[in-house]
Amino acid sequence: MSCRLSVDPKHSYKHEDLDQTDGTRIRCVMGFGSLLLGCFLASGASLVLHTANPHSVCRSCDPRAGSCSRQNCTSNCNVSKICPNPEDVCAGVWWRDDGVVTIETMCHDPTRPLHGVMLEDFSSSGCLLTSTFTAGRDLRLCACTGHACNDRVLLDNQTTPRIEKRPYQLPQLCRFCDIESTTCNDTGICEPSCTISAVCESPREVCAGSWRRMNGVSVVETVCYDPEVQFHGQHLLDYNSSICLMRPVKTSEDFYICSCNTEDCNAKMIFTDPVVSAEEEKNGIEPMLLLILVPLVICALVMVSFFYCYHVSRHLKAIKRKTTGTDIETYTAIISDDNSLNHNTELLPIQLVVTVGKGRFSEVYRAKLKQNISGEPFQTVAVKIFPCEEYASWKTEREIFSDTDLRHENILHFLTAEERKAERQYWLITAYHERGNLQDFLSRHVVSWEELCRLGASLARGVAHLHSDQTACRRPKVPIVHRDLKSSNVLVRTDLTCCLCDFGLSLRLDNSMSPEELANSGQVGTARYMAPEVLESRMDLENIESFKQADVYSMALILWEIMSRCSGIGDVREYKPPFGTFGEHPCVDSMKDHVIRDRLRPEIPATWNSHTGAGFLSSTIEECWDHDPESRLTAQCVVERFDDIISSAVLLPDSSEQKSPDSSEERISVIP
Ligand code: ADE
């Protein structure tokens, strides 16, 4: 047995099925989920990075004239910058040319030389200039650690926090009001109301201040103070500052101290350095906000575009489907995708319209699903209704349909199952196909060669998918056998492709089936379409392939039915089911006589073999209804045979197309 036909080794099999579409959608949704997660992680990470690793804030100005008093110089720089690297310290370069002092301030990576010099002491809170003479120029450098600590450069050999040598010779003038109550709180600038200033007793002393809140009352303190002595238990680290910048005392929330060393500098106790805070707003908060907001804004834009594209493509697909057949997308949008029982106590708003079919255990209705989707007041659906006595059949079919891997364009699209308790009924709600079942269709229409290929190939694709142990995306799938394949269990879609329906006798061939279950699953189906081994109850029930082989036999009879109504390959007679001469409902025994004893099969007219394509197809059919189940082709082989027939241009010219002798038959339009 070979799948291949010798006419054309070229073979192209395309999987353009719903599974792949679903797969793409799943991937899109997963991609979207990761995107969302990524966005939050990115902005979160940027926030964490920013807050976990504080960068120094330093004065940062190009060289400019400095103002010097006694032993220190101010840089006259009011621009502070958040340093780009967390390791950076603040640095200053001081030089004097012709008596003019110039100061440059910057952030600096202490592991690199500055003007060719490695800075050794950068951990002190004051920027103490160490002398370096370069090319006869008096050039000095300093580095320090602390908020804008390079605002002022110190010309003497002092370090903090311990001061060995005081740089000041004259006693300082400071605000000296001791403790007084104040209306200040711990923001902005606090100015004591008292205006008493005093020349400090000792030249060692600097100006100091404190603010604290006790029992809801705020007090400020202004004094001269010797920085070598702890002030409220704290070292005065910044006593060389020109401004009295408040810093919180670690042990208490409502307690701040400051120190400074310019005239009356403690008359203004500053909780936030206005220059730095303004700069911080610009250089610190803004970048931080940007770090958080930029990824979020980008993500929002990506998401909006993603949704927009997704909606447009869905809309286009919906429009396309409306023109070709059942709007599966729309249905899927209406009804939960879990493909099983509608557990929602609210039943779908469905109005039954007309009966379109009657089966052994159920009746099928065309119905209106009254939900406004894409501007349509309702969608047409099919409802298969089982009376409560047929609960088992409803349950079997529901279970088969509940396997989402079953989804395929050549398998009837299942929407949901409902228990209609009030009516004592069980419902299966599926897509509706207005062309009805293949048997009715063939009895009313003749088909062209192209239409025959379209119907036949799609039928084989449906059976192959059902039997397959993997989805189109190569995920493992439970093979299913139909066990009641016949033309009345095949529906014709608007685009003249087939889809299989009525899975009431189907069997899932998973490993969970016990030998007893297999043994009991013997002879089922419709006698006319039963394979010889089924008629004889001689199937090898332990071999799952034998169930598939029986389905292939039935499929061969359906392919013959389609061929028998093809006008492109010879005379078309009135529609007759296979073995149509054996009565309307031949029983198993009569079928056994014909099919097993007499080895009869439906007739293959000689004209079919006079056309290449039809000849190939008839021999394919014959291989599928072989008496020996093992010799039959698989459904997948039949798919490939159709592909070969179609792609190797053995398509027949349809010029010989004839109208059926039955004048009541209408010609159907050919879908290009
Ligand atoms: N007959 C049985 N099921 C049907 C369906 N889903 N659509 C149209 N006719 C049907």
**What digits encode the pLDDT tens for the residues 615-666?**
999 999 999 999 999 999 999 999 999 999 888 755 554 434 433 334 334 3
The finding on whether 382 has its CB within 6 A of some atom of ligand 1 is yes
Q: What is the pLDDT of residue 391?
A: 92
- Give the residue from 413, 408, 395 showing the smallest Cα distance to 341: 395
Whether 85 has a pLDDT exceeding 50, the answer reads: yes
Substitution site in 411, 438, 501 for ligand 1 pocket (most atoms within 8 Å of beta carbon): 501
Classify 492 as helix, strand or coil: strand
* Separation between Cα atoms, residue 484 and residue 479, nearest integer Å: 16
Q: What is the mean pLDDT of residues 537-546?
A: 87
Query: How are beta strands 100-108 and 61-65 bridged, if at all?
Result: antiparallel
Q: What is the mean pLDDT of residues 414-441?
A: 95
Please give the share of the chain, as a percent, with pLDDT higher than 70. Answer: 76
pLDDT in tens, 11-31: 333 333 323 333 333 333 344
Q: What is the pLDDT of residue 193?
A: 87
Substitution site in 326, 356, 369 for ligand 1 pocket (most atoms within 8 Å of beta carbon): 356
Please identify, by atom number, the ligand 1 atom nearest to the C-alpha of residue 412: 6
Does the annotation mark 484 as catalytic?
yes
Whether 512 has a pLDDT exceeding 90, the answer reads: no
Whether 225 has a pLDDT exceeding 60, the answer reads: yes
Q: Tell how far the Cα of 335 is from the centroid of ligand 1, in angstroms.
A: 19
pLDDT in tens, 281-301: 555 556 667 777 887 888 888
Q: Which domains does the chain have, with CATH numbers?
A: 5-48 (no CATH), 57-154 (2.10.60.10), 173-278 (2.10.60.10), 316-430 (3.30.200.20), 438-670 (1.10.510.10)
The finding on whether 490 has its CB within 6 A of some atom of ligand 1 is no
Please identify, by atom number, the ligand 1 atom nearest to the C-alpha of residue 357: 1
Q: What is the pLDDT of residue 223?
A: 92
Alpha helices in 257-285 (DSSP H): 274-280
pTM equals 0.53
CA-based angle 638:642:646, to the nearest 5? 170
Catalytic residue (choose from 484, 551, 626, 643):
484
Confidence band, pLDDT 50/70/90 cuts, at residue 484:
very high
Q: Tell how far the Cα of 478 is from the centroid of ligand 1, in angstroms.
A: 25
* Separation between Cα atoms, residue 612 and residue 568, nearest integer Å: 12
Whether 533 has a pLDDT exceeding 70, the answer reads: yes
Q: What is the pLDDT of residue 295?
A: 78
pLDDT higher for 273 or 45? 273
Please identify, by atom number, the ligand 1 atom nearest to the C-alpha of residue 434: 8
Classify 143 as helix, strand or coil: strand
Q: What is the pLDDT of residue 157?
A: 53
The finding on whether 381 has its CB within 6 A of some atom of ligand 1 is no
Choice among 251-265, 478-492, 545-559, 565-579 with the minimum mean pLDDT: 251-265
Substitution site in 365, 366, 429, 437 for ligand 1 pocket (most atoms within 8 Å of beta carbon): 437
Tokens 């804008």 sit on residue: 148
Tokens, residue 453: 């290929």
Q: Side by side, which strands form the sheet with 425-431?
A: 350-358, 363-369, 379-387, 425-431, 414-420
pLDDT in tens, 133-188: 555 566 788 898 888 888 888 876 543 333 334 443 578 889 988 888 899 888 88
The finding on whether 439 has its CB within 6 A of some atom of ligand 1 is no
Kindly state the DSSP code that residue 283 receives in the 8-state scheme. Answer: I
Which protein residue's CA is at the shortest distance from atom 6 of ligand 1? 432
Mean pLDDT is highest, among 122-136, 503-517, 614-628, for 614-628
Which protein residue's CA is at the shortest distance from atom 10 of ligand 1? 436
Q: What is the pLDDT of residue 234?
A: 84
Q: What is the mean pLDDT of residues 537-549?
A: 89
Confidence band, pLDDT 50/70/90 cuts, at residue 1:
low
Q: What is the mean pLDDT of residues 537-543?
A: 85
Q: What is the pLDDT of residue 656?
A: 41
Confidence band, pLDDT 50/70/90 cuts, at residue 5:
low
Please identify, by atom number, the ligand 1 atom nearest to the C-alpha of residue 432: 7
pLDDT higher for 27 or 116? 116
> Distance between alpha carbon 569 and the CA centroid of its chain, in Å?
51
- Mean pLDDT for the chain? 80
Q: What is the mean pLDDT of residues 182-195?
A: 87
Query: How are beta strands 255-260 and 206-214 bridged, if at all?
Result: antiparallel
Substitution site in 331, 433, 493 for ligand 1 pocket (most atoms within 8 Å of beta carbon): 433
CB atoms within 10 A of CB 278: 14
Mean pLDDT is highest, among 100-104, 326-330, 477-481, for 477-481
Whether 278 has a pLDDT exceeding 60, the answer reads: no
Q: Tell how far the Cα of 631 is from the centroid of ligand 1, in angstroms.
A: 34
pLDDT higher for 126 or 532? 532
Q: Tell how far the Cα of 216 is from the centroid of ligand 1, in angstroms.
A: 82
pLDDT in tens, 573-588: 999 999 999 999 999 9
pLDDT higher for 205 or 441? 441
Q: What is the pLDDT of residue 80?
A: 84
Q: What is the pLDDT of residue 629?
A: 97
Q: How far is CA 345 from CA 342, 397, 416, 420, 421, in A?
A: 8, 21, 13, 10, 11
Confidence band, pLDDT 50/70/90 cuts, at residue 63:
confident
